[in-house]
Chain A
Amino acid sequence: MRRVLELAGPIALVAATAAIASGISSAHQLEFETALVMVAIVVALYVFVGNSGVISFGHASFVAAGAYLAGLVTLDPETKNFTTPGLFHVLLHAQIGLVPSLALAAAVGAAYAIVVGLPLMRLSGLPAGIATFAVLGITYDVLSYWGKIGPGVQTLSGVPEASSWSIAAGVVIVIVAAYAYQRSRFGRMLRATREDPAAARASGISIYRQRLLAFALSGALAGLAGGLYVHQLGIITPELFYLDLTFVTLAMLVFGGMGSLWGAVVGALAISALNSFLGDAENTVDVGFHLTLPNGTRLVTVGAVMALVLILKPSGLTGGREFGRWRR
């Protein structure tokens, strides 16, 4: 029963969000869909960070890789010929459907994570954090200037958009994969290395291998999430995948509680909701009375709320527990 709840809780939340998204005005639809994509990204991040206890600042890179590839291969070749003629030949001429593009996004995310992880998973602690940050910096720099793999600093629009329900389906796949991993032998071994590295090593667990495996899966899910993101927004531009995304997704994870899948989902949805509400309030919102906040309040409030929750409850909103496990 508990196991069912652990998975059903997050999925029910995602389904509810999608149901609202598909039934409301288009302006708000966008916000609900973005919230869904954030869930996918944060859950992908959780697979590595939550289970290993090692912070990664590099995951926006894998999201970017998935988004760029999924976006470019679904764009109409004629449009690409006109807007970004400098692309690699295969990217310029390819045009495939939504589902295969998402599969490619997951594959490229995994491949990138493996390339990065092979050397970097030997590091831990702060050097690991800085090294993943360097990966983010390199990705952003290259995406901003290399015309063969994208629009450079420009924004490329016209990527086919997916419905709220297909985005939700993608998010559910990410959640199920994350759950299956954490229940698996590998997930348990990685969490053992988080709790007590020395004991884990002594019982024959290779920290390097377990971290690399989680990093690769996490990269694949992040790539898939990136594919969902690009099909939700319809545009490609490097600015989307840099410091803001990195910070916001990490904050969502810690805010919800980085020790559990439920925490990742709750954190992503809670911060998204707060962000949307305050964004509306800056343009007047009816909450029994008319509330109008000055421009810029949104960022200050979101920042303050995140800082406050971290200070008052460092283990996050959920305290790192799964859905249905309220008592110790």
Chain B
Amino acid sequence: MLAAVNWGQAIADAIALGALYGLVAVGIGLVFGVLRLVNFAYGELITAGAYVLAYTYGWPRPISILLCVGAVVALALAQELVAFRPLRRGGATPATMLVATFAVSFLLQAIYLLAFGSRGQIVGTLGRLNSAFTVDGVDIRWILLVTVVTGLVLLGATAAVLERTSVGLHIRAAATDFRTSRLLGVRANRVIMLSFVISGVLAAAVSVLYTVSNPLVQPTMGVPITIFALVGVVVGGMDRLWSAALGGFAVGLVYGLFSDVMSSTSSVYLPAVVYGLVIVVLLLRPAGLFGAWRSAQVERV
């Protein structure tokens, strides 16, 4: 039934989704910044974290979450060491690198399917956060607050590492001009590993937060998350982290709002509408909504 749209409710839910996609976008954007590598296998990190949470359900929560972070960071580093670094050594073209990340994503999904089956596992780690309190007729679930606060804290922490530490300065330099930074003595591999660690921590946070609202973990769970966040990164502009974060947030927000506001018969076309908007944005501003007015900057791949 189409009751009058509760805008407050719609906005509250959409903000939570936006915050999540913002985090994913930063994780993808950070590695892209340093390596010019779009990691399609990023979502599989989130899936891995969710499986850890599912299989450690019933353990003390802090341990379960710590294991999740550890496993995801380890997998992120493994992606770099086993797949991406040998590829770069071999002089792979950007197109090959892109397809390789696809292959890694496909491989991890197949491994999850083989190891954990297709039926899915349930995560209940922070299920209690689904309870809500009411403000002015708007139900605000605790997870909304937790997601937004965690998102802001992690973004702040990432920004602090990048802006205030010398290794953060090295990451920023490497992201701008990798070659010159190495000539200056910046240790390329350390910088790259560190960006994978940070992006792994962000992915683990998303595993924990995302599974509160979507407790069913399946092998392909990470695919739509990656796709939408990646769209956010490109739409926002990938030359800066905050523009990637804003892009991810915007895509999540728009998606969340439309899905609440559109009627159920037309909401099936919501992905098409979002993708259509993406094309329009890319045509009008190839460097992204929040990026600088330089379209030549992103001519890679």
Contact = CB atoms under 8 A, between A and B. Distances in A.
Touch between chains A and B, by CB atoms below 8 Å? yes
Contact of A296 (B38, B87, B110, B282): B110
Interface stretch (B2-10, B96-104, B188-196): B96-104
Contacts of A99: none
Contact of B268 (A131, A144, A311): A144
Contacts of A142: 269, 272
B110 A120 contact: no
Given A134-B275, A135-B279, 14 more contacts: A55-B95, A55-B98, A120-B279, A129-B98, A130-B282, A134-B231, A134-B278, A141-B269, A141-B271, A303-B103, A307-B104, A310-B87, A311-B86, A312-B90
Q: Which 3 A-B pairs have the closest CB atoms?
A: A303-B107, A299-B110, A296-B114
Interface string B73-110: 00000000001001100111101101110111011111
A240 to B, nearest CB: 16
B111 interface: yes
B113 interface: yes
A251 B238 CA distance: 25
A299 B269 CA distance: 31
B271 A137 contact: yes
Interface string B218-251: 0000010001001100100010000000000000
Contact of A258 (B95, B111, B227): B95
Contacts of B108: 303
Interface of B: 38, 83, 86-87, 90-93, 95-96, 98-100, 102-104, 106-111, 113-114, 223, 227, 230-231, 234, 238, 268-269, 271-272, 275-276, 278-279, 282-283, 286, 298-301
B272 A141 contact: yes
Given A134-B276, A254-B96, A312-B90, A125 B298 contact: yes
Contacts of B275: 134-135, 137-138, 141
B47 to A, nearest CB: 15
A247 B96 contact: no
Interface string A5-37: 000000000000000000000000000000000
A135 B275 CA distance: 7
B110 A314 contact: no
Nearest to A301: B110
Contacts of A258: 95-96
B276 A125 contact: no
B278 to A, nearest CB: 5
Nearest to B231: A130
A160 interface: no
Nearest to A152: B268
Contacts of A119: 279, 283
Nearest to B38: A126
Interface of B is mostly: helix
A204 interface: no
A141 B283 contact: no
A122 B223 CA distance: 28
Contacts of B300: 125-126
Nearest to B90: A314
A138 B272 contact: yes
Contact of A127 (B92, B223, B272, B286): B286
B298 A127 contact: yes
A55 to B, nearest CB: 5
A124 B278 CA distance: 15
Given A119-B279, A129-B301, A300 B83 contact: no
B29 to A, nearest CB: 12
**Most chain A beta-carbon contacts within 10 A, residue among B98, B223, B279, B299:** B279
A251 B258 CA distance: 34
Contact of B272 (A123, A137, A300, A312): A137
A173 interface: no
B295 to A, nearest CB: 8
Nearest to A146: B269
A123 B286 contact: yes
Nearest to A130: B234
Nearest to A119: B283
7 contacts: A126-B238, A127-B286, A251-B102, A300-B110, A302-B110, A310-B99, A313-B90
A294 interface: yes
Contact of B96 (A141, A300, A310): A310
A310 B298 contact: no
Given A138-B275, A311-B100, A296 B107 contact: no
Contacts of A171: none
Interface string A269-311: 0000000000000000000000000111101101110110011
Contact of B87 (A122, A128, A145, A314): A314
Nearest to B99: A254
A116 B271 CA distance: 18
Interface in A106-160: 119-120, 122-131, 133-135, 137-138, 140-142, 144-145
Contact of B301 (A126, A299, A306): A126
Contact of A138 (B107, B268, B276, B283): B276
Contacts of A49: 95
